Amino acid sequence: MKKRFFILAAVLAAVTVAALPGCSTNTQGDSASPVFLAGDFELLPAGKCVNDTTPLQFSNTVLRNRLKNPAVTSTQFLDVQVDQYIVVWTRVDGGTTASPSQTFPGNFLVPPNGQSTLTNYIYMSSDDLIRPPLDQLFPFNGGIDKETGKAEIRQAGNVTWYGHTLSGQPVTSDVATFGMIFTYCGSAGRIEAKRAQ
């Protein structure tokens, strides 16, 4: 009987705490900055040829600057200067070895309650296309991923942008994720035909 009473008391205490104002699980609202950033990728390529000599770039990335409190009347100094963004790669095909993380410079502004469109921003350098684990896809290395036995490697790119408001408060974005299929193409640029087979 005592055991049931303590379990019931613990459940009631948890419900009461969750209902109290000011207790929030909203991580955007819990940070010091009055704004947060959120990114979306547009016009993603179908995949990337590892033997292409160009970096992985997207035609458009939209980065939005959102007020945490929409009732704020003055947005002075709430522009966000984005200093850098980091891409962390994870495998989504059952493999365990992912491409290394990379940091890229930002150096652009996102207005409050507005957005900036980033054109041809890089998410993987051309050098990393020939490094592990993607180097396994080249014919002279066997042409297949040793972990999955497939001629392609699927990864997710997890992107976080870092910057500060013009008033000096640090801002970190939500993580934006995209998927990418890496293959070796007979001639670079023929990934659509390769995937259709």
pLDDT in tens, 7-43: 434 433 443 333 333 333 334 445 678 999 999 999 8
Q: Residue 31: its pLDDT value, please? A: 62
Mean pLDDT of 167-191: 86
State yes or no: pLDDT of 82 exceeds 80: yes
Measured CA to CA, the distance from residue 86 to residue 105 in angstroms comes to 9
The SS3 of residue 1 is coil
Q: Is residue 7 part of a domain?
A: no
The backbone torsions φ and ψ at residue 105, rounded to the nearest 5 degrees and listed phi first, read -75, 150
Q: Is residue 13 part of a domain?
A: no
Q: Is residue 22 part of a domain?
A: no
Q: What is the b/e burial string over 122-133, where b = at least 16 CB atoms within 10 angstroms of the residue's CB?
A: bbbbeebbeeeb
State yes or no: pLDDT of 169 exceeds 70: yes
Between these two residues, 71 and 110, which has the higher pLDDT value?
A: 110
Measured CA to CA, the distance from residue 93 to residue 143 in angstroms comes to 16
Question: How many domains are there within the chain?
Answer: 1
Q: Is residue 19 part of a domain?
A: no
Q: Is residue 6 part of a domain?
A: no
Measured CA to CA, the distance from residue 59 to residue 90 in angstroms comes to 22
CATH number at residue 34: 2.60.40
Domain that holds residue 122: 28-196
Q: Is residue 102 part of a domain?
A: yes
Measured CA to CA, the distance from residue 23 to residue 20 in angstroms comes to 6
Q: Decide if 83 contacts 106 (C-beta within 8 A).
A: yes
% residues pLDDT > 90 (the chain):
69
Confidence of residue 55 (pLDDT cuts 50, 70, 90): very high
Q: Is residue 40 part of a domain?
A: yes
